[in-house]
Structure formats: C-alpha cells, structure tokens
Amino acid sequence: MKARVHIMLKTGVLDPQGEAVRHALGSLGFDGVNSVRQGKVIELDLKDGTDEATIKDMCERLLANTVIESYKVEIL
Amino acid sequence: MHAAVVVFPGSNCDRDLAVALERAGARVSMVWHKDTAMPDGVDLIGVPGGFSFGDYLRCGAIAANSPICSAVKNHADRGGYVLGVCNGFQILTETRVLPGTLLRNAGLKYICRAVPLTVVTTDSAFTSGYDAGQTITVPIAHHDGNYHADAETLRALAAEDRIAFRYGDNPNGSADDIAGILSPNRRVLGMMPHPERMAETAHGGTDGAAMFAGLVQHLEHA
C-alpha cells in the first residue's frame, strides 16, 4: 500500500521561501498572486494493512515538526 | 570536569568544540552517534555544529532520533549540563529538550559572519563569566537560525530569564532577537552563534572563551 503525507507550515508561521516564490512569480508578470505557502510531500511505500494511526505516529515522531508544521495523511 | 562531544555524520564543529573545552581544562571524550550511552561520569555533553545527516528532512531531525540522543535526553532529564551550538541547538529543539524551533533565515541566505551579541543573563554556568548586558562578538554560520516559538513560550523565556543571548542586529529574523536560550533548570543552553570559533587569539577574538572557562570552573566545583 502507499500513503502520501502532506506537510505544511502552520497558519501564522512565516514562510520566507513561499514569500520569495511569490515575488518571483510577480517578476515573471503573474499578477494577483496574493500569497504562496510552500510545503513538502512525502510518499511512503508500506506493508499492506499498515493503519493510519501508525502513519500518524511516524508524522508526530519524525516526518513533521508539530511545533511549526501540520500534516495530512492520504492513503492511496 | 569530563565533557563528551557527540559526533554525527556531517558534524563539522566537533573538533573545535572539543579543543575549546580542552583549552579551558576539561577532559573530553568524543562520542559517536550510534553509541547508546555516555561514558561514565560525564558532566557536560556538547552537541556540535555542522550539517548532521545533510540537514535532510529538517535540520537536526534525523540526528534527534539517533541512538545517542536518547542518552543526551536522559542526561538533560537527570539535571546534567548540555551545550548545543548551531546544528546542536537545532538538534536540542528537535528532541524537545529546548522549546521552539529554528526556521529558515528570514532573508533566505546562509549567513557567515561575526555578529554582536548581548549577554542577557549571567545566571547560568554558561554565562556567569560575562557581565549582564555586555556585548560580545561571536560568529554565526547558518541558513536556518531564525528562532521561532509560540507567544506563550516567548513570554515564559523572557519572564523566567531564560534568554541567554540576544542579537544586536538580528541577522536572521529570530523572534525577540533570540540567539540562545536556557532550559528551565538553566543547565541546557542552545545557541546559534559559535563561541568555540572565538575562543583563542588566533580566531580573531576570545569572547567565547569565558563560556568554556565558566563551565569548567562551575563543574569542577559542583
């Protein structure tokens, strides 16, 4: 089975990289980009039957830093 | 005083930290990240700067889950002294030994230069060799040194006098100009600037030396 974990900075945590991307889009002529938030996607190839609680445990203990990041688990 | 300096794949300030401690009079053991315990009788653990595990995933995240970090955490939990510098500070926040985290520098650039720091508190073994309010010059060399914590944590750090150092010119966007913080028992210090790189005259300055001298003096008599 496969799972995909989406990790984003929490609302309220400044994202200077997203801000730099927003500026770069503006300089390419893309008007109207109000904000850009950059995150990461981690794909996991897992033993069949791995439950979502185990994947959440992986997120809590390593994949995300819950001080600043939120995560979402998607089972594929 | 017996100090242990942890070495991870990608550490690059481990030797400098060991030399600074030795010059101050400490006996130093180097400890490998796969070790599961500290040598007997270790008073202080140094977690050095560098790019442990290539900064993969997040700076310090993989090192924080290495076998030796359980021993570092146990040492801190038992009231032992720990000094984390740069990547060492990042590792101590990832292990949750210290609160908050270090984000990408606000200006997105890697910054490597000497910066002015204000000594905010002298109430710790790390900072007792300085005067409160003193300005010292210590180099920084990091891409992710932008200290971030929630408002409640920032209030607690200030109220409990646990901000050890503040930047004079905040080079990286850190909240409350924070360059280094102490644990509630004041025995764990995490800081982004490198005192071990300003510890003898050949470094161009010796403002970091008082930290190592103070630590050795305090722990010799502890």
Mean of the per-residue pLDDT values of chain B: 97
The pLDDT, as a whole number, for residue A23 is 94
The pLDDT, as a whole number, for residue B153 is 98
HSE value, Cβ hemisphere, 13 Å, CA-based, for B90: 29
Residue among B58, B59, B69, B89 with most chain A CBs within 10 A, to mutate: B58
- Give yes or no: B196 in active site: yes
- Give yes or no: B152 in active site: no
The pLDDT, as a whole number, for residue B195 is 98
Helix (H) or strand (E) holding A22: helix A16-27
B162-B191-B78 Cα angle (round to 5): 65
Residue among B90, B101, B111, B143 with most chain A CBs within 10 A, to mutate: B101
Q: How far apart are CA B73 and CA B19, in angstroms?
A: 24
Q: What is the pLDDT of residues B36-63, one digit of tens each?
A: 999 999 999 999 999 999 999 999 999 9
The pLDDT, as a whole number, for residue B118 is 98
Asked if B6 and B31 count as a contact pair (C-beta separation under 8 A), the reply is yes
Is the pLDDT score of A56 beyond 90? yes
The verdict on ipTM greater than 0.90 is no
Q: How far apart are CA B6 and CA B3, in angstroms?
A: 10
Structure tokens at B122: 């002298």
Question: Which of B99, B173, B215, B86 has the alpha carbon at shortest distance from B138?
Answer: B86
The one catalytic residue among B86, B94, B203, B218: B86
HSE value, Cβ hemisphere, 13 Å, CA-based, for B181: 30
The pLDDT, as a whole number, for residue A14 is 87
| Mean pLDDT across B126-155 | 97
Q: How far apart are CA B41 and CA B30, in angstroms?
A: 14
Structural domains of chain B ordered from first start: 2-220 (3.40.50.880)
Q: What is the pLDDT of residues B6-29, one digit of tens each?
A: 999 999 999 999 999 999 999 999
pTM: 0.95
- Give yes or no: B194 in active site: yes
Structural domains of chain A ordered from first start: 2-75 (3.30.1280.10)
In which band, very low, low, confident or very high, does the pLDDT at B221 lie, cut at 50, 70 and 90?
confident
| Mean pLDDT across B174-186 | 98
The pLDDT, as a whole number, for residue B142 is 98
| Mean pLDDT across B108-123 | 97
In which band, very low, low, confident or very high, does the pLDDT at B222 lie, cut at 50, 70 and 90?
low
Q: What is the pLDDT of residues A23-45, one digit of tens each?
A: 999 999 999 999 999 999 999 99
